[in-house]
Amino acid sequence: MPSRTFPPEMLEAMVTRALTTWGIPERHIGQEFGVSGACIGNIRRGANHKTVRPELPRWIRSCEACGHWTGYCDLGFPDPEEEGIVRAACECSAWVTR
Protein backbone atom coordinates (compact mmCIF):
# COMPACT_ATOMS: atom_id res chain seq x y z
CA MET A 1 0.00 0.00 0.00
CA PRO A 2 1.49 3.39 -0.92
CA SER A 3 2.40 5.90 1.75
CA ARG A 4 -0.29 8.43 2.64
CA THR A 5 -0.47 11.73 4.41
CA PHE A 6 -3.28 11.91 6.94
CA PRO A 7 -5.09 15.01 8.17
CA PRO A 8 -3.83 15.71 11.72
CA GLU A 9 -7.17 14.98 13.40
CA MET A 10 -7.55 11.66 11.56
CA LEU A 11 -3.98 10.66 12.39
CA GLU A 12 -4.48 11.42 16.07
CA ALA A 13 -7.76 9.47 16.12
CA MET A 14 -6.14 6.50 14.38
CA VAL A 15 -3.15 6.42 16.72
CA THR A 16 -5.38 6.82 19.78
CA ARG A 17 -7.65 3.98 18.64
CA ALA A 18 -4.70 1.70 17.85
CA LEU A 19 -3.06 2.29 21.23
CA THR A 20 -6.14 2.18 23.47
CA THR A 21 -7.96 -0.83 22.04
CA TRP A 22 -5.42 -3.64 22.24
CA GLY A 23 -8.12 -6.33 22.12
CA ILE A 24 -9.32 -5.31 18.66
CA PRO A 25 -7.41 -6.91 15.76
CA GLU A 26 -5.20 -4.59 13.74
CA ARG A 27 -7.03 -5.35 10.50
CA HIS A 28 -10.36 -4.22 11.98
CA ILE A 29 -8.95 -0.89 13.14
CA GLY A 30 -7.25 -0.53 9.75
CA GLN A 31 -10.59 -1.02 7.99
CA GLU A 32 -12.12 1.76 10.11
CA PHE A 33 -9.50 4.20 8.86
CA GLY A 34 -8.94 2.82 5.36
CA VAL A 35 -5.42 1.57 6.03
CA SER A 36 -3.83 -1.87 6.25
CA GLY A 37 -3.61 -3.88 9.44
CA ALA A 38 0.17 -3.66 9.06
CA CYS A 39 -0.07 0.13 9.36
CA ILE A 40 -1.90 -0.25 12.69
CA GLY A 41 0.63 -2.87 13.79
CA ASN A 42 3.46 -0.46 13.03
CA ILE A 43 1.78 2.18 15.18
CA ARG A 44 1.35 -0.30 18.04
CA ARG A 45 5.01 -1.32 17.87
CA GLY A 46 6.24 2.25 17.69
CA ALA A 47 7.62 2.00 14.16
CA ASN A 48 5.34 4.76 12.79
CA HIS A 49 3.88 7.98 14.18
CA LYS A 50 5.91 7.93 17.41
CA THR A 51 5.39 11.66 17.91
CA VAL A 52 1.59 11.39 17.85
CA ARG A 53 0.22 10.73 21.35
CA PRO A 54 3.68 9.86 22.77
CA GLU A 55 2.16 9.46 26.24
CA LEU A 56 0.32 6.30 25.14
CA PRO A 57 2.36 3.11 25.53
CA ARG A 58 3.56 1.26 22.47
CA TRP A 59 4.04 -2.50 22.46
CA ILE A 60 7.68 -3.47 22.86
CA ARG A 61 8.68 -7.10 22.67
CA SER A 62 10.64 -8.21 25.72
CA CYS A 63 11.61 -11.53 27.25
CA GLU A 64 9.37 -10.77 30.23
CA ALA A 65 6.28 -10.93 27.98
CA CYS A 66 7.30 -14.26 26.41
CA GLY A 67 5.56 -17.54 27.20
CA HIS A 68 8.98 -19.15 27.74
CA TRP A 69 10.01 -16.62 30.40
CA THR A 70 9.89 -17.72 34.05
CA GLY A 71 12.42 -15.25 35.40
CA TYR A 72 14.90 -16.60 32.86
CA CYS A 73 14.60 -18.03 29.35
CA ASP A 74 13.34 -21.62 29.60
CA LEU A 75 14.92 -22.33 26.22
CA GLY A 76 18.27 -20.82 27.19
CA PHE A 77 18.61 -18.57 24.15
CA PRO A 78 19.36 -15.90 23.30
CA ASP A 79 21.01 -14.85 26.51
CA PRO A 80 18.94 -11.95 27.89
CA GLU A 81 21.63 -11.15 30.45
CA GLU A 82 24.13 -10.47 27.67
CA GLU A 83 21.78 -8.91 25.13
CA GLY A 84 19.18 -7.31 27.41
CA ILE A 85 15.55 -8.45 27.59
CA VAL A 86 14.32 -6.24 24.75
CA ARG A 87 17.11 -6.88 22.24
CA ALA A 88 17.17 -10.62 23.01
CA ALA A 89 13.40 -10.89 22.50
CA CYS A 90 13.57 -9.03 19.18
CA GLU A 91 16.21 -11.47 17.92
CA CYS A 92 14.52 -14.60 19.30
CA SER A 93 12.74 -16.85 16.80
CA ALA A 94 10.99 -18.85 19.57
CA TRP A 95 9.35 -15.83 21.26
CA VAL A 96 5.64 -16.47 21.97
CA THR A 97 2.97 -14.49 23.77
CA ARG A 98 1.62 -15.80 27.06
Per-residue model confidence (pLDDT) at position 2:
47
Other C-beta atoms within 10 Å of 49: how many? 19
The dihedrals phi and psi of 73, each to the nearest 5 degrees, come to -80, 115
pLDDT tens digits for range 13-72? 999 999 999 889 999 999 999 999 999 988 998 888 989 999 988 887 778 878 888 888
Stated pTM of the model:
0.63
- Measured at the alpha carbon of residue 65, what is the angle toward residues 50 and 42, in degrees to the nearest 5? 25
The residue with greater pLDDT, 75 or 17, is: 17
Q: Which residues contact 59 (CB under 8 A, 6 or more apart)?
A: 22, 44, 45, 46
Boundaries of every domain in the chain: 1-59, 60-98
